[in-house]
Structure 1
Amino acid sequence: MYAVFLSGGKQYRVKKNQVIHIEKLNCLTGSTVEFENILMISNKNKIEIGNPFLNGVKVKAFVENHGRSKKIKVIKFNRRKHYKKQQGHRQHFTSVKIIDINHIEK
Structure 2
Amino acid sequence: MYAIINIKDKQFKIVENKYIYVPYISMNVGEKILLNQVFLFFKEDKLFLGNPFLDNISVKIEILQHIKGNKIIIFKKKRRKGYRVKNGFRPLFSKIKIISFLEKKK
Cα RMSD for the two superposed structures = 1.3
2:33 aligns to what?
Answer: 33
Distance 2:77 2:67 in 1: 30
Q: CA deviation at 1:27?
A: 1.1
Normalised TM-score (structure 1): 0.92
Question: 1:84 Cα deviation (Å)?
Answer: 1.4
Structure 1 unmatched runs, 5+: none
Percent of aligned pairs with the same amino acid? 29
Matched letter for residue 12 of structure 2: Y
Task: State the number of aligned residues.
Answer: 106
Instruction: Give distance in 1, aligned partners of 2:105 and 2:83.
Output: 61
Alignment pair present for 1:23 and 2:33: no
1:44-63 counterparts in 2 under 5 A?
Answer: 44-63=44-63
Q: CA deviation at 1:59?
A: 0.7
CA distance in 1, matches of 2:100, 2:16: 6
Within a 5 Å distance, the mapping from 1:1-106 to structure 2 comes to: 1-104=1-104, 106=106
Stretches of structure 2 lacking an aligned partner (at least 5 in a row): none
